[in-house]
Amino acid sequence: MKNKLLNILKPFGQEHLLTFWDNLSPQQRRHLSVQIESIDFPLLELLYVNRNHPTRTLDLADKSADPYGYKFSTVRNLSSCIALKPITSQEAIVAGNVALSGDENFNRENCSLENSNQEKNFCTKNRSGKVGAILVAGGQGTRLGFQHPKGLFPIGVVAGTLLIQIHFEKIIAISRRVGFNIPFAVMTSPATHFEILESLEQNDYFGFDPADVFLFCQGTMPTLNETDGKILLENQYSISLNPDGHGGMLAAMTRKQSDKNLSVFEFFKSRGVKYLYYNQIDNPLAQTCSPEFMGYHILSGSEFTTQVIRKKDPTEKCGNVVRIGESLHMIEYIELPDEIARRTNPDGSLHIWAGNTAIHAFDLDFLEQMTNSADKLHFHTARKKTPFIDISSGTIVKPTSPNAVKFERFIFDLLPYAKNAIVVEVDEANHYAPLKNESGAATHSPEQVQCQMTSQFISWLRAAGAIVMPKTPIEISPLFADSEEVLIKKIKPGITFDSPTYLRADLC
């Protein structure tokens, strides 16, 4: 076995991976050999050689124009969007509700949260919709100082509700409204899969039927030493691996899962799904399967739609959506030179303004077609601090500065290949509060996310006529109300909130 592995490794100068082979147990040797045999060494070598080469998207950045798109109904700025064709917000909402419910005559009032309870008292309608949802939950909470999957972070300001619970309660809320469970897929990574699965099982999937949930795991890529391209070892018998990026979703969706004997594509198609809503787990303000958002996607004939916010800072750390010719492209902030990012229009507004929120809508057929063209998703290079085992001493080294390169694919690189791709501009206050950094950080810290969540809840309560005293922590379960519209029907005008309050499902 050792000689066979050496024959694989020698052409690429990676023989060091077997440094500790003679000291390993049979089980450890099997583990390491499986890892080695699964690596595409020619691809890895090519990626390392080209790690500093700019992408084609970057070459075209200075030729960019405003993306085609629409404004969400809550956006109040006066800037204009270039629409593919006229669509009003009301038309989008109607089209989204029809797709979600599968009923041309769907009336939201006939099947609302008021007619449901915490025990899945769903409306009895024998139909299914055309929309499914994907939640991306592959990230660890390392940057938060949290040694667990980010989805298990207790973000609720009063009840300490987990991020993943908020997203599950949102899919339950909209499922109750349409009268059946919306098929829900959750993409994990090898680093998060088992803890997330354990949390879901321990919490009875937060009240959602496990039969309507499809957990699947994205792939991995080896981590390389920045200076010489050597693959890093995590320990004596394990290669240091990193998730292959949310672009790895395409390949992961084609693999059959043993527990269901289905792939993710087969799961969705078996439920009649035509459109997919997608968001990442770090954003508790994401409006799951928003009818207005899905409606713009459907009525415009788009194969790929993405939500964006209007950037306040030209060098803001988010992807940038631009139009080049008739196609949309995403340019990562690390790949966009400052001099291009700072360009302005004659009125002083930013030329490149559309910041990525990582909320998308896809045609399912488009995604499936793209699985046959995986090479269209190019790899991006990231430099990270990565612990590794020192070959000479066998000890773990914890670097204090970036020492490694990681390669990832991003799902948004499909934008140029999608017909009629559009953006939908949303307002940050109601849609975007990603949890990314540790407590006390300048941006996207737990305190800032909680503040934004509380501000949204307080605005809903005040719209309902409630009185909320200053500095009063408020948390609202999506099962109690997942929008201002629903909350207004549940709160009596004049009621006062002057102490920490969690409005939860069992109060319905």
Any idea what the Cα angle at residue 206 is, between residues 205 and 207, rounded to 5°?
A: 90
Q: Is the dihedral of CA 427, 433, 436, 438 positive or negative?
A: positive
Q: Which residues pair with 404 in a beta bridge?
A: 225, 384
Predicted pLDDT at 104: 77
Cα–Cα distance between 114 and 173 in angstroms, integer? Answer: 11
Cα separation, 28 vs 131, in Å, equals: 44
Cα distance between residue 254 and residue 249, in whole Å: 9
> Based on the number of CB atoms within 10 Å of its own CB, is 490 exposed (0-12), middle (13-18) or buried (19 or more)?
middle
CB contact at 8 A, 371 and 252:
no
**Residue 436 near residue 443 (C-beta atoms within 8 A):** yes
- Can you tell me the distance from the alpha carbon of 489 to that of 508, in angstroms, rounded to the nearest whole number? 11
- pLDDT tens for the chain, residues 1 to 508: 899 999 999 999 999 999 999 999 999 999 999 999 999 999 999 999 988 876 555 566 778 889 999 999 999 987 888 898 999 999 999 999 999 998 877 755 444 434 444 334 444 445 689 999 999 999 999 888 899 999 999 999 999 999 999 999 999 999 999 999 999 999 999 989 999 999 999 999 999 999 999 999 998 999 999 999 999 999 999 999 988 888 889 989 999 876 778 999 999 999 999 999 999 999 999 999 999 999 999 999 999 999 999 999 998 888 999 999 899 999 888 778 888 889 998 888 899 999 999 999 999 999 999 987 656 678 888 888 999 999 999 999 999 999 999 999 899 989 999 999 999 999 999 999 999 999 999 899 999 999 999 999 999 999 999 999 999 999 999 999 999 999 999 999 999 999 999 999 765 4
75-463-170-433 Cα dihedral, nearest 10 degrees: 50
Q: Give residue 58's pLDDT.
A: 58
Cα(146)–Cα(438) distance, integer angstroms:
8
Secondary structure of 30-81 as H, E, C letters: HHHHHHHHCCCHHHHHHHHHCCCCCCHHHHCHHHCECCEEEECCCCCCCCCC
- Give the other-Cβ count within 10 Å of 154's Cβ: 13
Structural domains of the chain, ranges and CATH numbers in brackets: 1-38 (no CATH), 39-507 (3.90.550.10)
What is residue 54's predicted lDDT score, i.e. its pLDDT?
60
Contact (Cβ atoms closer than 8 angstroms) between residue 113 and residue 173: yes
pLDDT of residue 110: 44
- Supply the pLDDT for residue 350: 92
User: What are the two backbone dihedrals, phi and then psi, of residue 142, each rounded to the nearest 5 degrees?
Assistant: -55, -45
d(CA 232, CA 386): 9
* pLDDT the model gives residue 116: 41
Identity of residue 169? E
CA dist 429 to 112, 177, 283, 424, 455, Å? 25, 24, 12, 15, 8
Chain centroid to Cα 35, Å, comes to 27
User: Coil, strand, or helix at residue 98?
Assistant: helix
Looking at residue 115, its pLDDT comes to 41
CB 481 within 8 A of CB 503: yes
